[in-house]
Structure 1
C-alpha cells in the first residue's frame, strides 16, 4: 500500500463518537425490570455502540449471546448456561473430567498406586461420579436436561442476557432460543437485538408476542443526524461545500454508522494518503468513492468509460427538481459527472478520469526498487507506460512533489519522447498535468461555479493566459523537435487549450501551405483550423479544399477527426482519437439540439459524403452502425 506519512495521518478526518448519553441512561433504567425488550436497528446502525454506552450506566452484568457469528455444536441452552453461570458450568466440566481420569487410574490399567486407596470414601464417591458419566455417555443422555433444571432455580440477581443479531439467526436456532426464553422469562431482563422489519418479513410471530417493549435507537444515530454532522466536518477538511444533491442522496439511502465509517476510510485514503486533495474536484471524487463502495456495477461502468443505461432518460431533462428519489439523485450526479467540463483545475472527471479511480492493491515493490526504475532509460520508458493500477504510478503520485527538479526534468523529457510517438498512459497524463500546473496554475474549483484565481492568472485575459501557456510549451517542445501539429496534439490532449482556444490562438492556419504537407497530426490541425474559421458543426459552409484535406487523412486520423466532430462515436466519453478494441463505431444520422431540446440536427448530408470512405474502412475490419441520438 502507499506509504502513510506522519503528515498525511495528521490530516485524516477522524469520526467523532455520537453522543447517546441521555438515551443510554434511560435504557439502563428500563433494564432494571425483568422484562423482554427488542432493540431495533438495521445492520451497522450503531446498536452495539449504543449497548456499550448503556453498559456504563447500568448496574447489570451484560451477557452477550452471539449465535450468528459463532459456530458452536452445543445447544443454545448449554451455551447460555456457560455464559450465565460460568463458574457452575466449568466447575462441573472440571469435576467430570477429573472423575473420569481418577476412575481410569483406579482400574489399575495405569498403575500409579491409586488402586491401593480405592477403599476410601472419597474414592468411592469419585468412582460413582465417573460411572454415572460413563452411563450417561453410553445412553447418550443430553446435558440440556441437567442445565434446564439449574437454570430454573439459579438466582440471576444482576444478570442481563442480550441475544445479538437475532434477525440473522436461522429458524432452527431461533426455536432453541424460545425454549431458553421460557426458562428465563420474568427471572432476568432479556434484550433481543436486530432489525424488527426483517423479523416481520420472516413471519416471526412468536417473538412479536413475547416482547414487552420495542426500543428504537436514539435519533442521534439516525442517518439524517450522523451524516449532517459528518458533512459539516468534511466541508472544513476538504475546504469545499458538499452539494445538497449529494447529501440528500446519502441520507435518503439511509446509510448507517458502519457505512459512514467505511466511506470515511476511503476519503482519508484517497485525499490524504494518495494526496489527491488538490488534484481532483472533491465532489466528483466523493461520488466515485460512494459508487465504488455501494454500487460496484456503476463503478465498473465508469472504469470502462461506458454510458449508463439511465443516461437516455436524463438527456434534455430539467435537473433542477428538488424532490427526487435518492436513486434519481445518484443517476443525475453520475450523468453530470460524465459530461461536465470546465476550464479550471483540478481537472474534472471527464478530462482526467483515471485520477479519480481507487487503487487498493498491496505493493509488491520496495521504494528502492521503484526509484531504481527511474535511473535507467529503458526501465523508465516502460514504467511511464504503466497505468493507475501499478505500483510505479502509485509511487510517483505519492512522491513526485518531493523529487528534485533534475529528477522531474529527466522524467518529463522521457515522457515527451513517448508522447511524440503517440503513446498514452495514466502515468504520462499525470506527469504532463503536473507540468501544466507548473507553467500556469489552474483556477481552483471551489463549488457552485466558484473559482479561486492563482496569482499567476490574476488580471490577465483568457487569450493572454493561453498565449503564455503555448509559448512555455513551445519553448520546451521545440527542443524535442515536435512539429506544429504534434504541439497541437499535446496541448489539446493534455492541457486546458482545446480546439476552441487553439482556434482563437491560431486564426491564420493555412491548410494548403507547403508546411501542411509535413504535418504529422493533420487530424488535430484540421480541427483547429475549422474552429478558427468559426465553422465547427456548420458542415455546409466547409470549402472543397477543407473536404479534400479531410479525405486525404490516413484512416486512423480520418476516424479521429470525425469522432471529434461528433459524427461518429467510438464509445468513449473522452479520447476521441482512440480506436475501439472491436473497431466498432456508431454513425449518428441526427442528434438532439441541446439548445432546443425539441429539435434534432440532421447529419444526413455529412453521412452521405463520408459513406464511401466508411465502406472502404469496413473492408479493413472496421464496423459502423447508423443510429439517431435522442
Structure 2
C-alpha cells in the first residue's frame, strides 16, 4: 500500500539540524565582510547555505563559475547576476542607439524623416537622435569593451545601495580554474565593503593559498557545524536503519565509516545500495547483515578490491591492507545462518540472484537481432540477462560494449527504460568521463554530441541528464536560464515533464504554487499527451503521492513545513487546478484519496 511518507527510505536520511549555526552565520552577514565557508567535498555546504539564506533577510546571488560553460569574464557574469535589470537595460539602450544610427544616415533620412509630422522632423529631434548614435560610434571607434563599464559600475561607491539586500556566493571556489579564481579576486576588489561575499570550498585546495592572498582578503573563515562531520552522522543513521529493518549493525562496522571520514554524500550513496540489496532485492533474510553491508562498503569505496573478489581472488589476499582489517574481520566469519560470505559469495555480491539463463543463451541474445527488445524485456534488476551483462561487462570487447550502448540509447530515444539500460549508460559515463574527474558541464557537452547522433530533442536531453547523469533539477535550472514554455523545444518535446520541472526550478517556483495561468495550461497539455508525466510533476512538487503499481493517488489539502513551522502557501489554489484533472484518472483505474495534511521538511 502507498504510505503518506516514505518511511522505508528517505526518512532515514533526515536533514541534520543546523538551525542555530545557520542563524549565527546569517547574523554575521549583516556586516559587509568577506567569508570563506570551509568544507570538503560531500559535507553538505550547499544545503547548509540554503539554511543560512532561509534565516537571512537577504537574497543570495550564486555565482557558479564551475557549473556553466561561459567565455565571459567573471566581472561580466557577476554583473548580470547582481544587476540584471541594469544589464538588460544597458544592452537594450545599445541596440536602440544602433537603430538610431541607421535612421539618421542620409539614405534613410531622405526617405523616412520627410514623411514624419513637422514637430518630429525638426532639427532639435534629429539632433537628439544623432547624439546617442555619435556616442555609439565613438565607443566602437575606440574599441571600448562593456567589461570596463561593468568594472566602473561595480567599483562605484554610489551604487552600494543597490547591493544592500544581497549576498554574493562564489560556490565551489576550489574547483574552478585558476583563471577564474584570478577573476574572482578582481571582482572582490570591486565589491569589497559593498556587500557580504561568501567563498565556498575546501580551503586547503585553493590555488592562491600559497601566496597568502586569500588569507588577506577574508575577514571570517567559517567552518561547517560539527554535526555535519563524519564522526557525528553515522550513529544516528545506523540507529534508524536498525529500527527500520529490525537488524543489528556491528559497532565495528559503524566505526569504520567514522574512521575513514565517510561524509553525507557518501552516506546517501551507501544507503541507496543498502535499500536496493536488503529491501528491493529482498536479501535481508538470506544474508548475514554485517557481511552484506561490508560487501556494499567495498563495492562503493574500494571498487578495485570488489572486482578482485568478484574474479575469485582469495579474501585474505584481497583485503590484506591495514585499512581493510575491519572488513577482513567481518567477512572472515564462517559461522551462523544464513550462510556466511565465505560459503555463499555469489549470494552477497551486488545485483546477484540465482542464475537461470545459460551463458550460451545469453551470448545468443547479445549477438542476435532482438538485443534492443531484450534490453527492456529482460533488463530488470531481477532478470537473468541483466545479471549476465552486469557480471561480464568489464571483460567484454569494446565493440560489444559500443553495441550495448547503441541499443540502450535507441531505447531511451523511444521512451523505454530498464535497470540494464541504466547500468550501461552510468557505467560508460563513469569510464569515459567521471573517473577522469571531468567537470559536469564538459560531461554534459560530450554526451550531447553523442545524443545528437540519435536525434534527441532538447527535452530528451534534459531527461537524460537528470535520469542517467544524476544532475538534479536544481542544477539543471541553473544550467539553463532561458527556458520558455512557448518554445518549440517544449511544445514538440517528447519529455515535456522534465522540461517543465527544469523550468520551475529556473523560475524558483518549485514549492511556490501561485503559478501563472499559462503554467497550468501547459500542465494540462502534458496531461493530454502523457498523464504519467503529469503525475510525476505533481509528485515532485509534493502536491500528491502516487504509486503507479497499485494505481493509488493521494492528494493533499495542506502541506506543512515542519522545519520552518509554517504551511506552504497557495496549496489550495493548486488543488483547485489539479483536482478535476486527476479525477479523470478514475477511468484509468486509479483510486484517489484526499488527505488533510502532509508534513515535510524543507529549508
TM-score w.r.t. structure 2 length?
A: 0.54
In structure 2, what is the Cα distance between the partners aligned to 1:8 and 1:185?
Answer: 46
Aligned equivalent of 2:273, options 263, 266, 276: 266
In structure 2, what is the Cα distance between the partners aligned to 1:386 and 1:355?
Answer: 25
Partner residue of 1:216?
223
Between 244-253 and 191-200, the greater mean CA deviation after superposition: 191-200
Contact 2:270 2:300 in 1 (8 A): yes
Contact 2:305 2:318 in 1 (8 A): no
In structure 2, what is the Cα distance between the partners aligned to 1:261 and 1:301?
Answer: 25
In structure 2, what is the Cα distance between the partners aligned to 1:176 and 1:393?
Answer: 49
Deviation at 1:267, TM superposition (A): 1.8
Aligned equivalent of 1:353, options 345, 353, 361: 345
Deviation at 1:12, TM superposition (A): 2.5
Change (3 A) 1:93 1:342: same
In structure 1, what is the Cα distance between the partners aligned to 2:66 and 2:296?
Answer: 30
Q: What's the Cα RMSD here?
A: 3.8
Map Cα deviations across residues 2-29 of structure 1 (whole Å, 9 max, x no partner): xx99899663253101111111111110
In structure 2, what is the Cα distance between the partners aligned to 1:97 and 1:20?
Answer: 48
Deviation at 1:133, TM superposition (A): 3.4
Map Cα deviations across residues 18-46 of structure 1 (whole Å, 9 max, x no partner): 11111111111011011111111111111
Partner residue of 1:232?
239
In structure 1, what is the Cα distance between the partners aligned to 2:125 and 2:145?
Answer: 27
Change (3 A) 1:356 1:309: closer
1:11 aligns with 2:5: no
1:344 aligns with 2:331: no
Change (3 A) 1:89 1:380: closer
In structure 1, what is the Cα distance between the partners aligned to 2:351 and 2:110?
Answer: 66
Partner residue of 1:179?
186
In structure 2, what is the Cα distance between the partners aligned to 1:261 and 1:192?
Answer: 25
In structure 1, what is the Cα distance between the partners aligned to 2:179 and 2:75?
Answer: 13
Matches within 5 A, 1:556-575: none
In structure 1, what is the Cα distance between the partners aligned to 2:130 and 2:295?
Answer: 71
Structure having the larger proportion of residues in helix: 2
Matches within 5 A, 1:325-474: 328-334=322-328, 336-337=330-331, 339-342=332-335, 344-345=337-338, 347-359=339-351, 382=361, 391=378, 394-395=381-382
Between 37-46 and 196-205, the greater mean CA deviation after superposition: 196-205
Between 109-118 and 288-297, the greater mean CA deviation after superposition: 109-118
Map Cα deviations across residues 158-217 of structure 1 (whole Å, 9 max, x no partner): 221111111112222111111111111112111111111222895251111111111111
Contact 1:76 1:177 in 2 (8 A): yes
Deviation at 1:67, TM superposition (A): 0.9
Between 203-212 and 389-398, the greater mean CA deviation after superposition: 389-398
Contact 2:36 2:200 in 1 (8 A): yes
Partner residue of 2:79?
81
Deviation at 1:113, TM superposition (A): 6.5
Aligned equivalent of 1:145, options 121, 128, 148: 148
**Which runs of 5 or more residues in structure 2 are unaligned?**
367-374, 386-603
Contact 2:66 2:175 in 1 (8 A): yes
Local SS of the residue matching 2:70: coil
Local SS of the residue matching 1:96: helix
Local SS of the residue matching 1:59: coil
Change (3 A) 1:122 1:69: farther
Local SS of the residue matching 1:224: helix
In structure 2, what is the Cα distance between the partners aligned to 1:53 and 1:312?
Answer: 41
Contact 1:160 1:190 in 2 (8 A): yes
Partner residue of 1:249?
256
Partner residue of 2:59?
61
Partner residue of 1:104?
102
Deviation at 1:385, TM superposition (A): 12
TM-score w.r.t. structure 1 length?
A: 0.52
Deviation at 1:112, TM superposition (A): 12
Change (3 A) 1:283 1:86: same
Local SS of the residue matching 2:206: helix
Deviation at 1:54, TM superposition (A): 0.8
In structure 1, what is the Cα distance between the partners aligned to 2:110 and 2:297?
Answer: 70
In structure 1, what is the Cα distance between the partners aligned to 2:110 and 2:15?
Answer: 61
In structure 1, what is the Cα distance between the partners aligned to 2:328 and 2:107?
Answer: 78
Map Cα deviations across residues 492-520 of structure 1 (whole Å, 9 max, x no partner): xxxxxxxxxxxxxxxxxxxxxxxxxxxxx
Partner residue of 1:596?
none
Change (3 A) 1:127 1:16: farther
Local SS of the residue matching 2:342: coil
In structure 2, what is the Cα distance between the partners aligned to 1:224 and 1:26?
Answer: 23
Partner residue of 1:582?
none
**Which runs of 5 or more residues in structure 1 are unaligned?**
314-326, 361-373, 399-630
Change (3 A) 1:97 1:236: same
Local SS of the residue matching 2:341: coil
Map Cα deviations across residues 457-506 of structure 1 (whole Å, 9 max, x no partner): xxxxxxxxxxxxxxxxxxxxxxxxxxxxxxxxxxxxxxxxxxxxxxxxxx
Deviation at 1:136, TM superposition (A): 3.2
Number of equivalent positions: 364
In structure 1, what is the Cα distance between the partners aligned to 2:29 and 2:225?
Answer: 16
In structure 2, what is the Cα distance between the partners aligned to 1:91 and 1:11?
Answer: 52
